[in-house]
Amino acid sequence: MERRRYALRLLYDGRAFRGFQRQPGLPTVQAAVEDALRAMGVAAPLQVAARTDAGVSALDQVVSFVARADLDLAALRRGVNEAAPDGLVCLGAARVKLRFHARASALSRRYVYLVGSPAPEALAPWCWSLPDERAFPGLGAAPLDARAMQEALSHAVGEHDFVGLARPGDQRITVRTVTRADVLVADGLPLVAVVLEGRGFLRAMVRNLVGTAVAAGLGLAPPTLLRDLLLSRDRYRGVRAPGWGLTLAKVSYAPGTLTWT
């Protein structure tokens, strides 16, 4: 019997989930989507483009799965949305080639991290608000130096061994290529957006990079800290930015790979 591969494009609010990966007794994105598929008679494990942590949101997450059924794409998208909990939306469904894999076929992933001093009220649920007594004890209100943040992150661009910014023991291959690391300043708001893009990232790597940049922006660490960590391969022992400020903004594939319905 013929096997068919499908892809789904997902948007979700990280506040509603304890991350992407299924965990017993906890609400996760994987469990919500697999349960929705099961309600349609499709029992299939998901492959995911980017495994997000607890609190992390996504505007353009992609998952793929194999099924023997010839599924109507509009009905597939509608069925996932009808069964999905609040905070999760299926934006599109696609039939893809059997060799497609949501993670392995992706060319790049783009993340956006919001930091406010303090966070604007409308964005507060998805923004790291400073001052933060937990992260920087005793530090009161202080402006972020976006130039220092940009200088700090500039050392991440290119191919490097990011072993010092990974979770201990998570992955054996720790070399990654970062193609973009920008700090964008909002007009008229005490808000910056850190944009990081690359083929792939280690677990906790993006949040550790942001933590390094914010420390530099507050004058608590030199902008050369990341350069020194990459050269020495020492473990990063600074602040890890909280998950709720991070959003998976875009996953890119080769042109023509996905046609969404």
- Annotated catalytic residues are 53
Q: Which of 69, 75, 70, 95 has the alpha carbon at shortest distance from 8? A: 95
Q: Which two tokens stand for residue 87?
A: 């905070």
For 172-192, give one letter per residue: b (16+ CB within 10 A) or e.
eebebebeebebeeeeeebbb
Residues forming beta bridges with residue 129, ordered by sequence position: 116
Dihedrals phi, psi of 90, to nearest 5 degrees: -90, 115
Q: Which two tokens stand for residue 225?
A: 């800290």
| Cβ pair 9, 61 in contact under 8 A | yes
Angstrom distances, CA of residue 75 to CA of 48, 139, 218: 21, 53, 50
Q: Residue 209 belongs to what H/E stretch?
A: helix 205-217
Question: Under a CB-based contact definition with an 8 Å cutoff, are residues 39 and 76 in contact?
Answer: no
Please report, for residues 40, 162, 168, 210, 247, the alpha-carbon distance to residue 206 in angstroms, rounded to integers and kept in the order given. Answer: 36, 11, 15, 6, 11
Distance of CA 102 to the CA centre of its chain: 14
